[in-house]
Structure 1
Amino acid sequence: MTDTVPAPTAAEKEGTPARRKKKTQARQAQAPKGAPSPARKVNPVLERLFELYPKMFGARFLPLKLGVFEDLLAQHPDEFKREDLKVALGLHARSTRYLEAVASGKQRHDLNAVPVEPVAPEHVHHAILEVFRRRQARSAEDLRPQLRARLMEAIEASGLSREDYMLVVRSNDETANAVLDEAFAELGARNAKREALRRAFEASGRSVAEFAEMYGMDPAEVKRTLAAARARPETPDPA
C-alpha cells in the first residue's frame, strides 16, 4: 500500500520557506536603496547609565569593578529599580563590545573610570572564547589561529603556571580545551626558543648588535626576545 500525500492548500503554499524567501526578496527590492534599517530599541536604564557615566557606558567600554551593581543602587536609590538595573547590567555585560574589553585584559574600573583591580585570568579567558565563538559564527574563515594567539597572550599575562591556569579555566567544552592545549604547546615551543637564544647570547660574550649580526638577525628583535626570556625564565611544559 502506498501512502498518498494530499496536495498543499493555498495557505500552506503561502507558508513554505521558499515562498517566504521570495516575498522577503521582493520587499527588499521595493525598499529604497540606502534606506536605514529600523533602529534597535535601547534599554532605558542603559541610556540613563550612559548619561550618568559616559566614560563607562559610552562609546568605549571598560571592565566594571566587581560589586558595581550595589554601588549603583547605593548612589542612586531613587533612580533605578533593582530588577531593571540587574537586567540592564546583564545586557551590558553580555554585549560583544564589553566582552572584548574584558578579553583585552584591561583592569576593572569603578564608575569614575578609575582602574581598581585586575580582571581574573578565568574571566579574560572565557571572554576571549565567547568573542571568538561569535566572530566564528559570522565568518567563513577559520579563526582558530587568532584564538590560539589570544590565548597565548592571556596565559603569559596571567603569570600562572600551566597547572594553575588549567585549574581555573578548564571546562567541558572539548573544542575550547583542544585549542588551549595547542596554545600551551606553541607557547612552550616559543619560550624554549627564547631561552635557547638567551643562553647562546650570554655564552657569546658579544653585544646585542654583534650577536644579531653574527646570526643574521634584527637587533631589535633579539633585544625583545632576550627581554621576554628574562621576564619568564621558566618555560611552560609543552606536553
Structure 2
Amino acid sequence: MTDTTQPNTATDARPPAAPRRRRRGGAKTSPDARVAPPPQPGARPPRKPSPVLERLFALYPRLFGARFVPLKLGVYEDLLARHPEDFSPEELKLAMGQHARSTRYLESVAAGHPRHDLDGNAVAPVAPEHVHHAILELHRRRHPRTPADAQAGLNARLVARVARAIEASGLPHHDYAARVRSRDASANAVVDEALITLAAQAAKREALLRAFEASGRGEPEFAEMYGIPLDEVRRSLQQARAARTPAT
C-alpha cells in the first residue's frame, strides 16, 4: 500500500510556479501588430510633401533643406530657366507658393534674413513690409483670436517684435508706418502701439543722455552711480546721440 502522505518526487517536489506578471500598458504585441491608431473622425490626413519640393530639396539643400532662407524675387523664373526639363511652370508655381506660405519660410522672412539666389548667395535684404507681414501672419497662426479676444487688448510680445522690426528697418518711424498700413484695423493698432513704445524708449534715452551730460562723469562712473550695466548705458547714449543727429 502506498503512503499518500509522502511527496511524489516527479510532481510534488517542484515548487509552485510563480504567478505570471502582467506587463504595464496592456498585453505585449508583436512588432507586426503595432499599427497606427485609426484617424479621428474629421481629422485631416497628413499632407504629403510635394514631389516638386522634394526635387528642389535634392537640387538645392541649402535653400530648401533643413534651414529655410528667403529667396530672391524672380527665383521662380530662374528655376524654370535653369531646369526646363525638371519642372512644368504650373507645378513649380504651386510648389513655390506652398513653400512661401509655410511657417518655416515665414519665420526666415520675419527674422530679417537676406534674400538668396539659387547659388546660395545673399543678394538683397527683405523689404521691411515683407518682414512686417510675416511677423503678423506667424502671430495669427500661433495665437488665433476671436473678435472678443481682439477687444481685450494687444499682445505685448507682438508689439515688442514689431517695435524691434521698425528699428531694424532703418526707416524713419513714419515711413515704416506708411509702408505697412492696411485695411486691417487690428494690424494698424499693433503698429500704433509699437510706435508709442518706441517713442517712450527714445524719451528715456534722451533723459539719460541729459543726465549724463549734466553729471560731468565718465560712462563707467555714471553707470555705477545709476546702477545700470555699462554696456546698456553706452548703447542708450549712442542711440540718443544718433537720434539728435538729423538724417542726411
TM over 0.5: yes
SS at match of 1:116: strand
Specify which of 190, 197, 212 is matched with residue 186 of structure 1: 197
- Decide which of 218, 226, 230 is 2:237's aligned counterpart: 226
Identity among equivalent positions (%) equals 63
Specify every segment of 5 or more residues in structure 2 that has no aligned partner in the other structure, as ranges: 1-32, 40-44
Contact 2:68 2:108 in 1 (8 A): yes
Give the corresponding residue for 1:171. Answer: 182
Cα distance in 2 for partners of 1:78, 1:175 equals 46
Matched, 1:54 2:61: yes
**Aligned residue type for 2:222:** F
Aligned to 1:14: none
* Superposed displacement of residue 197, structure 1: 1.0
1:145 aligns with 2:175: no
In the alignment, the residues of structure 2 paired with residue 228 and residue 106 of structure 1 have an alpha-carbon distance, to the nearest angstrom, of 23
Count of residues in Structure 1 that have an aligned counterpart in Structure 2: 203
In structure 2, distance between residues paired with 1:112 and 1:36: 44
Aligned residue number for residue 80 of structure 1: 87
Relative distance call for 1:119 and 1:233 in structure 2 (3 A) is farther
2:132 and 2:165 in contact (8 A); partners too: yes
CA contact (8 A) 2:154 2:190 kept: no
Are residue 155 (structure 1) and residue 180 (structure 2) matched? no
Shift of 1:162: 2.5
User: How many Å separate the matches in 1 of 2:242 and 2:125?
Assistant: 20
Letter in 1 for 2:129: E
- What amino acid maps onto 1:116 in structure 2? V
**TM-score normalised over the length of structure 1:** 0.78
Over 3 Å counting, the alpha-carbon distance change for 1:232 and 1:78 in structure 2 is farther
In 2, Cα distance between equivalents of 1:100 and 1:51: 22
Moved more, 163-172 or 123-132: 163-172
- From 226, 231, 241, give the equivalent of 1:215: 226
Alignment-derived partner of residue 125 in structure 1 = 132
Distance 2:120 2:143 in 1: 31
* Range 203-212 or range 59-68, more displaced: 203-212
| Aligned 8 A contact 2:116 2:124 in 1 | yes
Name whichever of 183-192 and 142-151 sits farther off.
142-151
| Greater mean alpha carbon deviation, residues 222-231 or residues 206-215 | 222-231
In 1, the alpha carbon distance for the partners of 2:184 and 2:128 equals: 18
Distance in structure 1 (CA, Å) of the matches to 2:66 and 2:172: 36
Question: Please, which runs of 5 or more residues in structure 1 have no aligned partner?
Answer: 1-30
Q: Please state how far the C-alpha of 1:102 moved relative to its aligned partner.
A: 0.4
Q: How far, CA to CA, are the matches of 2:243 and 2:80 in structure 1?
A: 43
The alpha-carbon deviation at position 34 of structure 1 amounts to 8.0
- Aligned-pair distance for 1:143? 7.6
